[in-house]
Amino acid sequence: MDSGDQSLQRAIATISQSDPLTKLLEQVKLGRMKPSDAGLRAVTDSWLGIYKKVIESGGMTRQALHRIDPQPRLAVLIECGVLTGEQQMVTALRQSFERAVADATE
């Protein structure tokens, strides 16, 4: 495994550790937790920050970055009412991703 693959695997592992989709989103869908729940908000905010930090850490190719594109996960969280597209952290994550892709090598 080359260093690019290792960087991608580390990025995926780091992002996955705090991913609210894997555990908490099901609770929202089942009505056991509200999208505005303070605990869910804290986990989601932390995840957004970690995701942004991973993207900004550099060292990934465009292809690797596209594999960790935050947009699909953001779309699910927005659809469920956990996030809004206008939230500062959502906007910041999208902008960081776009910058990283633009600056990345093939």
Residues 6+ apart with CB under 8 A from 77: 20, 21, 25, 44, 83
Helix ranges (H only) for the chain are 3-17, 20-29, 38-56, 62-67, 71-79, 88-103
Block means of pLDDT (10 residues each) for the chain, 106 residues, are 78 87 84 91 93 92 94 94 95 97 89
Q: Cβ(92)–Cβ(52) under 8 Å?
A: yes
What are residue 27's phi and psi, to 5 degrees? -65, -35
Q: Cβ(46)–Cβ(14) under 8 Å?
A: no
Could you state, in order of their start, the residue ranges of all structural domains in the chain? 3-103
